[in-house]
Structure 1
Amino acid sequence: MEAMCHKEPSAVVHFETMPAYQGDDLVGDIRVLHRVFWSYYHCIRAFRHCKPIVQVDGTHLYGKYKGCLLVAVSQDGNNNIVPIVFAIVEGETSDAWHFFLSNLRQHVVTRDGVGLISDRHESINAAVERSNGAWSPPRAFHMFCIRHIESNFLRKFKAPYLQKLVVNIGYSRTVREYEVRYQRLRERGEAYTNWLN
């Protein structure tokens, strides 16, 4: 961590450690890395010029070291994906997401009115709930990723012919456009719109 801060003095790095044990005995002078959050100065600066949208997701790490890599990205005016922050945590737990989202809010996403896009993972929802309003209206608006909704819809109903309509409902730009598409789906079966609600 110190090496990264030395090479990149404007980087934000926040980490948490835990005591080390050998068997049941506490090893007094050793700490073990528990979680680490970081963002590079250029990523932080780039976000100032991005759309007010942040998408978060996690992926499991495999191999010698276990845990999860959490990432937040945004989008610039040309629809390019801009990575803004990273974290390595113990797993996709409520505590890990709270650590990640708190640091993201404190160090990078400092403006209000931002959309937070995530999958429907309960640990993210729980972390948003305990953020003391940092990720709630009017400071932020938590939204679900339309691609995750699409795949969950397909898994539930096995109706690929309705997949595009579900995505288009999510991408509606006006209330009227949304209502027309929603009604079209409802005409195919109320079970679809009930699930979508």
Structure 2
Amino acid sequence: MLKSAAGAAAGATLAVAVSPTVIDGLRPHRSIVKQMVEELSSLFSEARRSGRTAGFTITVDADGAPEINTLAREQAMDADDVAERDRAFAAARARGRVKAAEILGGGEMLSADAMADRLGISRVTVNARRQRHELLGLDGAKRGFRFPAWQVNDDGKPLEVLPQLFALLGPSPWTVYRFLTQHHDALDGATARDALQRGRTADVLDAAESVARGDFA
């Protein structure tokens, strides 16, 4: 278990299940494990900030002594490779923005006011329920949040499974949206949205758990 240096009061712990054999192999190298975790955390932050990829290598000599070496991938790429990769990243981000705009501008999307009218509640309550992950709202930047109309059934009730999906898939509404609208082998090729409309809630949650584990659903 990883624990915050601030102590128990910080409440920041992370449990990772590994086999006893792994524990036995790592126990003599606690300092290198700590350094490796800190290096990994730093790389995640840097990658998100810069949009660039970096890494590190771990070398173990014949005596079993490990050594961590930071390896910036920029150092292993020439200028043309870096420029080409950056152009590819920029193009991918642009395509993502266009696709998001198309989704948010679709006829199935409701504004917060329209969703409030549909549910018979206030706009403030709609936003509160969105923040509690009881409603699925996608950030439309300039246009504000947009809410898929299909998350409300004919009885005027939103999908009850939404909080569980957020708990499994993470806090990103776009991740939950993609899961609900994509076809899944685990659901016999149906989308999670359609499966829920057919009452297959347990199957959908199993598929979400599989996606969260990194399996192909």
TM-score higher than 0.5: no
Higher relative contact order (CA 8 A, sep 6+): 1
TM-score band by shorter chain is under 0.3
Bigger Rg over Cα: 2
Which of the pair is proportionally richer in strand? 1
Task: Please report the TM-score for the alignment, with normalisation by the length of structure 1.
Answer: 0.27
Which of the pair is proportionally richer in helix? 2
Task: Please report the TM-score for the alignment, with normalisation by the length of structure 2.
Answer: 0.25
